[in-house]
Amino acid sequence: MGYLMDLRPPFFRGVTSSRKSAHGALTALWQMAEMPDEALGYVDLPGTDPVLPSSFAVGMAAQCSIAAAALAAAEIWHLRGGKRQRVSVDMRHAAQETRGYFTLDGVQPNLWDKITGVYRCGDGNWVRIHANFAHHRDGALSLLGCPTGATVNRDAVERALSRWSALEFEQAAADAGLVVAALRSFDEWDRHPQGIAVSQLPLVSIERIGDAPSRPLPRYGHDPRPLKDIRVLDLTRILAGPVCGRTLAAYGADVMLLNSPNLPNIAAIAETSRGKLSVHADLDTATGRITLGNLLRSAHILVQGYRPGALDALGFGPQDAARIRPGIVYVSLSAYGHVGPWATRRGFDSLVQTASGFNHAESQAARQEAPRPMPVQILDYASGYLMAFGAQAALARQAVEGGSWHVRVSLAQTARWLRGLPRVPNGLACPLPALDGYLEETESGFGRLVAVRHAARFSATAPKWIRPSVPPGTNPTVWPFS
């Protein structure tokens, strides 16, 4: 229905070399969102790849996705009556932000389970198992006939997988609701039904899904931040979605992270919750659904990372939200896109890297046999920043045109965009840069938190997190007074 933003990747085939620059990549994103060209004259993008050890332009992807989100915030500031301001994103700083580094009380948490990783199967191909959640780990071990619990080791998993082919184990795991991906090359992914489906999708879509009166953005007041008084419901849990909410909070939004008290979280929640309120609501109960409905009625943006169709079943799909809150900007994240045979399949950054060809391509660049991951979870982080960009572009459009809007992003679509950026010769020889100079230290509800500062710099409205990171359920389920 109505307007649809179409960012079909890759952008850079058959275009001039200048368009392959970071500014060219940002320009493509910005113009395809039909954002004002004038704003592009107010952005600085210093730095060049490589900034991390990869044959892919991970620095450019980090820089451009952050810059798109930041420039959209500056445009909202302009819509609210502020003068246009300069936005700068240093590539090295942007790449450091995607490393996800943090410590709590001087300790760096271990974010990876010992079973997580790649394994060779009996047919000679490889699979990647994601086991950071206990129920995913124990499910994979049970499927392999391995004992569960702390005593299991990788040797037992390797012996069990020697009796499987990679594709058979991938399918069996998917059928069991587990998270596993078989290694594929780019050519194999391009021939796969899901790879074909993803190739037909835009990088980011912003679609009008209903009629609603426009809500002009209020003029800025004493708090000079672009998203002051914008309310964001954050129904996400793993990196990409939380990064989106964290970014919007840095630009001044009231972001409320809504968690189920019955679901586990990863340790990174301490870092990605900077600037957010954090509440509990169990959507499997009537009380929890009433709570969400009440919060939604005065929200501007809802961000969710449920599998396609899951929130529809609870009465909070995009059309439901547009009925409850006309004028809502509804942002959906998925692993493999919302169409195709894998549309409902669970997935994480590392799995999408494996399935869609990146681990194979990096191993070829490194002249090694074993799959090689990219040095950061760039699909998660770039997707999170692109979600923030799409949410703000839709918010600006709603303020002018009215309507309710649906923004969609997936890790697989972001992967295809990254693949369209220039490869980096000798990029794997780049050393991992030191974090000195990029860190900030704050108190949090989890302990003394040291983490990377946000990479975007504004000439007038400095991004900052005014709320400390706090554990789930810390805050009451009500919006703060303006």
> What token pair was written down for 185?
């090359």
pLDDT the model gives residue 222: 67
Segment 10-23, tens digit of pLDDT: 333 333 333 469 99
pLDDT the model gives residue 221: 66
Local structure of residue 405 (DSSP, 8 states): E
CATH architecture of 16-109+196-340+374-458: 3-Layer(aba) Sandwich (3.40)
The band of 110, judged by pLDDT with boundaries at 50, 70 and 90, is confident
Q: Among 470, 311, 303, 472, which Cα is nearest to 394's?
A: 303
Neighbouring CB atoms inside 10 A of 319's CB total: 14
**Cα–Cα distance, 132 to 298 (Å, whole number):** 35
> What token pair was written down for 275?
């600037």
pLDDT the model gives residue 217: 86
pLDDT the model gives residue 5: 45
**Cα–Cα distance, 466 to 456 (Å, whole number):** 16
Tell whether the model's pLDDT for residue 219 goes beyond 80: no
pLDDT the model gives residue 273: 98
pLDDT the model gives residue 135: 85
Tell whether the model's pLDDT for residue 124 goes beyond 70: yes
CB 5 within 8 A of CB 394: no
Segment 257-314, tens digit of pLDDT: 999 999 888 889 999 999 999 999 999 999 999 999 999 999 999 999 998 889 999 9
Tell whether the model's pLDDT for residue 195 goes beyond 90: yes
Segment 129-182, tens digit of pLDDT: 998 888 889 999 999 999 887 677 899 999 999 999 999 999 999 999 999 999
| pTM greater than 0.85 (yes/no) | yes
Q: Among 370, 437, 398, 331, which Cα is nearest to 2's?
A: 398
Segment 469-478, tens digit of pLDDT: 999 999 999 9
Segment 387-415, tens digit of pLDDT: 999 999 999 999 999 999 999 999 999 99
Section 81-100 average pLDDT: 96
